[in-house]
Structure 1
Amino acid sequence: MRMSNKDDINEKLNIEDSDDKKDYTEEICYLCKRPESLAGKLMQIPNHIYICADCMQRTFDLINNPDNPYINMIGIPPGMFGMTDISSSIKTKKAQEDGKSKKEKVEFDRKKIPSPHIIKAKLDEYIIGQDHAKKVISVAVYNHYKRISSHAPEDVEIEKSNMLMIGPTGCGKTYLVKTLAKLLDVPLAITDATTLTEAGYIGDDVESVISKLLQAAGNDVKKAERGIIFIDEIDKIAKKRNTNSRDVSGESVQQGLLKLLEGSDVEVPVGATSKNAMVPLKTINTENILFICGGAFPDLDKIIKARLNKQSSMGFMADLKDKYDNDKNLLQKVTLDDLREYGMVPEFLGRLPILFTLEGLTKEMMIKVLQEPKNAILKQYKSLLAMDEVDLIFDEEALEAIAERALEKKTGARALRAILEEVMLDIMYEIPKDDNIGRVIITKDYIQGKGVPVIEMRGVSKQKAIASGN
């Protein structure tokens, strides 16, 4: 009697120890999971992987798609696995990249950039003093964006107006650049030169500053190519003296920055600060990027003083060696020779044609910094207490006492915030306890730790001691 197909299959599967044992299970496609009976004949690739003809065709179609982000990410030219000519696709892509800068130059309108006097007026709202520095940076920025605009002359090539900004710590160098970028609505990247090292050593390569600008522009190459890069602490890459080890973070970094300042095509990683095989790269032209370098240059005043004291002599009407000891704005007399003596290479200084200095903050300027800017520190505290329906008042003597303490710290305007945080701690802690408090007056004695603030209750004026650690 002939067995049914079901019995025939069961009989074959029950032969456990037979040498003729065969595997009657169907293979399935690795991608779509369909068995061979449905997908048709499967193709076997290494590692015992089976793929059907439909999935294989879809894979080739995906690879040949020029808009595929995964293929562009790993750098495979479109058409590499199809019938498209590879050389023609590469030429097309290169032509598109070459036309980016030209296209952007036509699209950019210089009328979007305000005039220098308008830029300076906006900077005056946030930054106290530094009139010369604000005038210089306003003109330089305005000329730079005229240079890259669609109305720039074609018969004359206008050079870049990169800037070198020198000033003591806390005088407003970084804040000046931040306010400028906010006013112009252009991408801004702020980086410290202290993290930059020569290629091949631990640290960030010089191309990482372009990567940060690309991130600030939302990975938009066109937008990044008209942005601003501020390299702070530029004095930290001066040539090291009296050292026998390799200077990987000094002169070599200056040499690496030369091509960026001058203008060149740079391949930078997207979303990372170092190049590796897993990170896609984009090409950015730095010709239209404005570079602003700033630094405090400690001990530069000694070099300036030594140069100025070469003319000192003995006798009547002679310059004394201690003539410049108390000059707070000695940095304004800086020259390129002084910077070369400090350790900056001539090639680097030559690519920063605009050199200007910022003034050190005086007592009067400190008081204005407390009160006048749009986001002044006192305005911030007054707004915080106004939420509790409490008025905050600083008398004139208290402001002078705060400015004097800030000057003693020798950290510029940054000291004002630290002092006010200390002074306002107990007030901000105690005021919410009593809803009847209507006004707080800060006095000089309280700033000096000799007294207490004046507390005025709602409708009644009296003095109340607030717990203080002073």
Structure 2
Amino acid sequence: MSEEKDTGEEITEELSVEDTEKDDNDEYEKICFMCRRPESKAGKMVELPGKIHICMGCMQKSFDTMQNSNINYNDLMKNMPPNISMIDLSALNNQVPPQQKIKKRKEEKKAPKKEFTMKDVPPPHRIKEQLDEYVIGQEKAKKVMSVAVYNHYKRILSEPGDIEIEKSNMLMIGPTGSGKTYLVQTLAKLLNVPLAITDATSLTEAGYIGDDIESVVSKLLAAADNDVERAEHGIIFIDEIDKIAKKKNTNQRDVSGEAVQQGMLKLLEGSEVEVPVGANSKNAMVPLTTVNTKNILFICGGAFPELPEIVKERLNKKSSIGFQADLKDKYDKDKNILMKATVDDLRNFGMIPEFLGRLPIVFSLESLTEDMLVKILQEPKNAILKQYRRLLELDEVKLVFDNGALHAIAKKALEKDTGARALRAIIEEFMLDIMYEIPKDDNIGEVIITKEYIEHTGGPRILMRGQEIPLLDALG
């Protein structure tokens, strides 16, 4: 009986050890013995005796080293004493201290994959209505984008017929800070499709230092959680497209200009591209997948800083002599001169005809006026003034901007000539003291930002809880 009891205790002990090891493996990540990276970073591990784990990358490096070295391992093993092994694996047990163990992340329950259909794409007027909630002005641009996006998804989601519809890729021209990137971001958010935003300044011809053209597609694949089918219904926005214009008066190879435009032709038209999964560059250790760009919507945008001069030069050729003649300085004060740009002007700027031919929809954005900037401050869903009001509400303080203050901020922004981007910089500057001082006094109930405070000739008005106290220099 005693022997049976001992055996039972031994079995129980063995089970408890196995259970502990199982729980340990479930709770903590495996760590590569060589590069010390966890399983979530290094990928699948090879398990060796003694609880040693080695990632596939380090295993491959070891094989490559053995293969490339001149040592004959067969002769080495023959000459070694029989009782000596090259590596004592048992001595390497418990190689990861408890404080260095990494707990596994809890996996979130993913919702079942929903098929993207035409029912998920609202009609053009609905798209524009939703864009109106976020973007002020730019009526023509919003209308053009709404129709182009609707037609694009009709083309790829409808059944193929006798007539093949071409892609409706877009080229946006607009001054800095006019809302090019924000329009595309809002559009992708409303349609719930993956969006990749890239900068054309980093793109170079294949074989040179910089990003290859295919890296644009790999970013979209990453945005779609490596779902190829979802990525093929996505949107790619290439900003600063004017920076890859053909360089003038140069004898050097144009690896980041005309060459990039030529390399992008097939991508814009539609071709199968091999892209790395989970990385920006191709190498032996990264798996590749094929993405068809035929159904990906490409939107290119740029400020084209020298384009206004090209447009003026073309328009001034029509000027003549006489009482009813057009003056040569007629267009010098035209803020929306880019609205008159044509494809020929873009070609003179340095964009090659084949590239422009694959961007059939070309439109310009308006320059922001003072009234538009005032509306941008307060009307959009995520307006910056709404954000600051919410921040002070958490301190139980009401924030009010009078009409003169709003116009003073807009005037300062126009002077900076950086569009809507200037608004945040200006507001951050004069709100700093308010955000610092207000939490000191619990009796403050309301802060009124005045025109004098914005122009540095006075201060804000402070309303205490129950009475008004003008504090002109309270925060100055």
Superposition TM-score, scaled by structure 1 size: 0.77
1:313 and 2:339 correspond: no
Moved more, 310-319 or 127-136: 310-319
Secondary structure class of the residue paired with 1:287? helix
Name the aligned partner's letter for residue 167 of structure 1: G
Per the alignment, residue 286 of structure 1 pairs with 293
User: Which residue of 411, 415, 427 corresponds with 1:420?
Assistant: 427
Per the alignment, residue 148 of structure 1 pairs with 156
CA apart distance, 1:152:
3.1
Per the alignment, residue 447 of structure 2 pairs with 440
Q: For 1:384 and 1:347, locate their aligned partners in 2 and report how far apart those are by CA, in whole Å.
A: 51
User: Which residue of 137, 142, 152 corresponds with 1:134?
Assistant: 142
Q: For 1:372 and 1:322, locate their aligned partners in 2 and report how far apart those are by CA, in whole Å.
A: 36
Question: Quick check: 1:427–1:466 contact (8 Å CA) kept in 2?
Answer: no
CA apart distance, 1:351:
0.2
Name the aligned partner's letter for residue 112 of structure 1: D
Question: Quick check: 2:458–2:473 contact (8 Å CA) kept in 1?
Answer: no
Deviations 1:415-453 (A, max 9, x none): 000000001000000000000000000111100001010
Q: For 1:305 and 1:32, locate their aligned partners in 2 and report how far apart those are by CA, in whole Å.
A: 77
CA apart distance, 1:154:
2.0
Name the aligned partner's letter for residue 235 of structure 1: D
Per the alignment, residue 119 of structure 1 pairs with 127
Q: For 1:333 and 1:122, locate their aligned partners in 2 and report how far apart those are by CA, in whole Å.
A: 27
Question: Quick check: 1:366–1:403 contact (8 Å CA) kept in 2?
Answer: yes
CA apart distance, 1:109:
1.8
Moved more, 153-162 or 332-341: 153-162
1:329-340 mapped onto 2 (5 Å cutoff): 329-340=336-347
Q: For 1:467 and 1:220, locate their aligned partners in 2 and report how far apart those are by CA, in whole Å.
A: 56
Unaligned runs of 5+ in 1: 1-29, 34-44, 50-103
1:298 and 2:305 correspond: yes
Secondary structure class of the residue paired with 1:229? strand
1:220 and 2:213 correspond: no
Q: For 2:327 and 2:400, locate their aligned partners in 1 and report how far apart those are by CA, in whole Å.
A: 47
1:364 and 2:381 correspond: no
Q: For 1:429 and 1:299, locate their aligned partners in 2 and report how far apart those are by CA, in whole Å.
A: 43
User: Which residue of 456, 460, 466 corresponds with 1:453?
Assistant: 460
1:172 and 2:149 correspond: no
Name the aligned partner's letter for residue 259 of structure 1: K
Superposition TM-score, scaled by structure 2 size: 0.76
1:256 and 2:281 correspond: no
CA apart distance, 1:468:
4.4
Per the alignment, residue 9 of structure 1 pairs with none
Distance 1:110 1:435, change over 3 A: same
CA apart distance, 1:242:
1.4
Question: Quick check: 1:146–1:152 contact (8 Å CA) kept in 2?
Answer: no
Question: Quick check: 1:426–1:466 contact (8 Å CA) kept in 2?
Answer: no
CA apart distance, 1:314:
1.9
Q: For 1:223 and 1:143, locate their aligned partners in 2 and report how far apart those are by CA, in whole Å.
A: 18
* Residue identity (%): 73
Per the alignment, residue 184 of structure 1 pairs with 191
Question: Quick check: 1:148–1:288 contact (8 Å CA) kept in 2?
Answer: yes
Q: For 1:303 and 1:408, locate their aligned partners in 2 and report how far apart those are by CA, in whole Å.
A: 24
1:405 and 2:436 correspond: no
Question: Quick check: 1:108–1:148 contact (8 Å CA) kept in 2?
Answer: no
Deviations 1:227-269 (A, max 9, x none): 0000000000000111222111000000011011000000011
Q: For 2:48 and 2:418, locate their aligned partners in 1 and report how far apart those are by CA, in whole Å.
A: 64
Per the alignment, residue 387 of structure 2 pairs with 380
Question: Quick check: 1:329–1:360 contact (8 Å CA) kept in 2?
Answer: yes
Deviations 1:304-326 (A, max 9, x none): 00000001122210111000000
Question: Quick check: 2:213–2:264 contact (8 Å CA) kept in 1?
Answer: yes
1:109 and 2:117 correspond: yes
Question: Quick check: 2:377–2:383 contact (8 Å CA) kept in 1?
Answer: yes
Q: For 1:357 and 1:393, locate their aligned partners in 2 and report how far apart those are by CA, in whole Å.
A: 35
CA apart distance, 1:467:
5.2
Deviations 1:143-200 (A, max 9, x none): 1001111x33421111100000111110100000000000000000000000000111
Per the alignment, residue 19 of structure 2 pairs with none
Secondary structure class of the residue paired with 1:356? strand
Q: For 2:355 and 2:153, locate their aligned partners in 1 and report how far apart those are by CA, in whole Å.
A: 22
CA apart distance, 1:464:
2.1
Name the aligned partner's letter for residue 416 of structure 2: K
Secondary structure class of the residue paired with 1:441? strand
Name the aligned partner's letter for residue 149 of structure 2: V
Name the aligned partner's letter for residue 319 of structure 2: S
Q: For 1:202 and 1:453, locate their aligned partners in 2 and report how far apart those are by CA, in whole Å.
A: 53
The structure number with the bigger radius of gyration is 1
Q: For 2:473 and 2:227, locate their aligned partners in 1 and report how far apart those are by CA, in whole Å.
A: 54
The alignment of Structure 1 onto Structure 2 pairs a total of residues equal to 374
Unaligned runs of 5+ in 2: 1-46, 51-72, 79-112
